[in-house]
Amino acid sequence: MAGLALWPRFERRSGGRLERLYCFEDGLVIGSGHTMRPIRWSDVTVTSEAYSGNEYRKPGTIRTLTTPDGAVVARFTGQEPERVGGDQVMLLHQAATEREAVHPSPDPTPSDARPTEA
């Protein structure tokens, strides 16, 4: 009986550690294990794809954030709980790209170009 109570503590998620997305005013950071990868908002592309609803789900919009090399940073289906913050991420991206158009950032630093060890 005690073994069943402790089993979830030792069960591992398949596929290893999940990446975490940290959003800031000037960009975002993808954290995975001991690696942190900074990305400026100006380097992120947002694509939106609307879909119609059916008997299983409501209509909505899928928003995908990608990097210049085509890597998907995040995908928001519009069906996430409010606390996920998909709408806030889109607002941060929009505000940052508008600000970047008015006040361009300096050239990327070496830390912007490569992952760093934490």
Residue 57 has, within 13 A of its CA and on its CB side, a CA count of 11
Say what the pLDDT of residue 111 is: 46
pTM of this prediction exceeds 0.75: no
In tens, the pLDDT along 2-51 reads 555 555 555 555 555 677 888 888 888 988 878 888 998 889 998 888 88
Residue bearing the bigger pLDDT, 104 or 30: 30
Say what the pLDDT of residue 107 is: 61
- Asked whether 22 and 28 are in contact (CB, 8 A), the reply is yes
The CA distance from 34 to 27, in Å, is 19
Say what the pLDDT of residue 81 is: 74
| Mean pLDDT score across all residues of the chain | 76
The rounded percent of the chain whose pLDDT value lies above 70 is 74
In order of their start, the domains of the chain are 17-117 (2.30.29)
The CA distance from 56 to 100, in Å, is 40
